[in-house]
Structure 1
Amino acid sequence: MTKKRKNLGKNSIILILTVVIIFIAYLGSPLSKVRNVNVEGVNDLGAQQVIDATEINNNSLLVNVLLDHRSIADKTKKKLPSIKTVSFRTRNLRDIVIKVKEIPTLGLIYKDGYYYRVVNGGRILNQRMHAPIGNYPIYSGFNKKGLKKISKIYKNLPDNVRTNVSQFYNAPTKLNPYRIKIDMNDGNKVVADIRTVEAKMKYYPSIAAQMKRKGVINLEIGAYSYPFKAKK
């Protein structure tokens, strides 16, 4: 082996050892740890709620977060089923940005002391909440099929009507097994037929605007309104 090759081999070993030493020193320094964690894209979830689910904190090694991002993402989605996708990126070499995309919430149900999200297809997410979130309606008395239908109806309502809905009730009678009731945020109540309510609710704003007092708007057959009975 020539002297040139010997020197090249020696230099390569020194370079590798230097890199290893620098890397070990880096892992043992504060620079290797996450400094700040930021969350982007949250809607109904809280940023801290997402951070807690990832278990990333200022003691986490940045390199571990980047290497284990898939398992961290899977763990996070398991804890928070309303998350559709979650990804991670670095910022300023020491900060972690968690990018979240949530499954759109179409309403809530109340069961056994907790609230649960209703999403596309009337699916109920197994994610308990102690209090309602956002400006979403609460569904009461609907079976699986009915919940799928009424949540789709809610999704398709005009924006100015959808944001005014407070609660949907399944309220069948012998004469009309398809009857539902709706509490509105403006104080009115609606009686309707689940088969026709989507088409008729677009007239709600104009009907409500003509009412002199809060009351009931009946959309079962035709469309008419009457004020609440005065309390004695």
Structure 2
Amino acid sequence: MPKKRVTKIDPKEKLSPYLDYQSNKNKRKSQSKTQNKLSASLANLRSERKSALVKRLGLIVGISVIALIGLGFYISPLNDVVSVKVEGGRDLPLAELVKTSGIKTSDKVIDHLVDSRGVNHKVKQKYSEVEHINIGVNHLNQLVLKVNEYQTIGYIKKGNKYCKILAHGKLGTQLLPWSKVSPDKPVFIGYNHDMSLNQSLALFNSLPSGFQSQIKLLSGNTRRKSQVIFVMKDGNVVIGNVSTLKRKLKYYNEIKAKATKDSLIDLEVGAYSRPLTVKEKRIYGLT
């Protein structure tokens, strides 16, 4: 009996078309997914670009509208200064101060709000009392000048009037009557030279605040350049030396406690007290 012929079949060869089909199918699916993702990304990108463009256009339009409104207000009569009000500077001539500032009713409010340096420079140059001016606005077009003055250290007598001695060492520009002199501040009398005044002022500023507050007058009518004379609020007179007074003040309270009313407390050479004479009381304005 003849043998049957056996034909060998390669499984890979038979499955190859199927495997190729599956592979191609998978590739097409993968490509389709990639294309779908790419399409989605492009759509998102276009959407983001459109959104960004709309935002930029909106910003440009918004800025343009605000600029037009601002320009319209700037050139309108609503931005014209109609009046100027001054706050502070009670001892200064307010009408003259406004005139010095250079502000006119034809000026624009915004110009002075944005740049106040010109007003400050003009006013401070004329009035030494003024430390700084802040410019504000009321009722849309009324300018308000808020005057900040230097602290008053004391007063100096000039004729029958009094002038402020200011914290930065300069004298005020206004001559004031006695009614406008603060009783809490000392008065410098008899000073004819700036040098002696500056020396006494420097000494006064270096003294303890507790002693400063007790001083009523500082007299420049001294026998020697190194001498200082303080008329106190309690009626006593203190005499000292410019270079040694601060050191000797430690004896002041002890001597004052033992002194009688209207005494001269001498801290210039030694440290003692004695009653003031009638002539001395008259000289120091205590009678």
What is the DSSP-based 3-state SS (H/G/I as helix, E as strand, rest coil) of the residue aligned with 2:152? coil
SS of the aligned residue for 1:127 comes to: strand
2:198 corresponds in structure 1 to: 148
Whether contact under 8 Å (2:153, 2:166) holds in the other structure is yes
Equivalent residue in structure 2 for 1:204, among 238, 243, 252:
252
8 Å contact 2:215–2:230 — kept in the other structure? yes
- Across the aligned residues of Structure 1 and Structure 2, the Cα RMSD in angstroms comes to 4.2
Residue from 62, 65, 71 that aligns with 2:109: 62
Which TM-score applies when normalising by structure 1? Answer: 0.67
- Whether contact under 8 Å (1:218, 1:224) holds in the other structure is yes
Deviation at 1:91, TM superposition (A): 6.8
Can you give the 5+ residue segments of structure 2 that lack an aligned partner in the other structure?
A: 1-56, 282-287
Cα 1:91–1:188 shift into 2, 3 Å: same
Q: Cα distance 1:144–1:183, how it changes in 2: closer, same or farther (>3 A)?
A: same
Query: Which residue is equivalent to 2:236?
Result: 188
Q: TM-score, normalised by structure 2?
A: 0.56
Rg comparison, structure with higher value: 2
Contact 1:53/1:75 (8 A) holds in 2: no
Residue number among 261, 280, 286 corresponding to 1:213 in the alignment:
261
Within a 5 Å distance, the mapping from 1:76-91 to structure 2 comes to 76-90=123-137
Structure 1: runs of 5+ lacking an equivalent: 1-7
Matched, 1:111 2:155: no
What is the alpha-carbon distance in structure 1 between the residues aligned to residue 181 and residue 200 of structure 2? 19
Percent of paired sites with the same residue: 21
Aligned 8 A contact 2:113 2:135 in 1: yes
Please say if residues 163 and 176 of structure 2, whose CA atoms lie closer than 8 Å, have aligned partners that are also in contact.
no
178-187 or 196-205: bigger deviation: 196-205
Structure 1 partner of 2:12: none
Which one of 63, 69, 90 corresponds to residue 46 of structure 1? 90
- How many residue pairs get aligned? The number is 212
Is 1:28 paired with 2:72? no
Q: Please identify runs of 4+ aligned residues in structure 1 that moved more than 4 A.
A: 14-18, 31-38, 47-52, 90-101
Do residues 162 (structure 1) and 212 (structure 2) align?
Answer: yes
Highest RCO, 1 vs 2 (Cα 8 Å, sep ≥ 6): 1
How far apart in 1 are the matches of 2:83 and 2:109?
A: 9
Aligned to 1:5: none
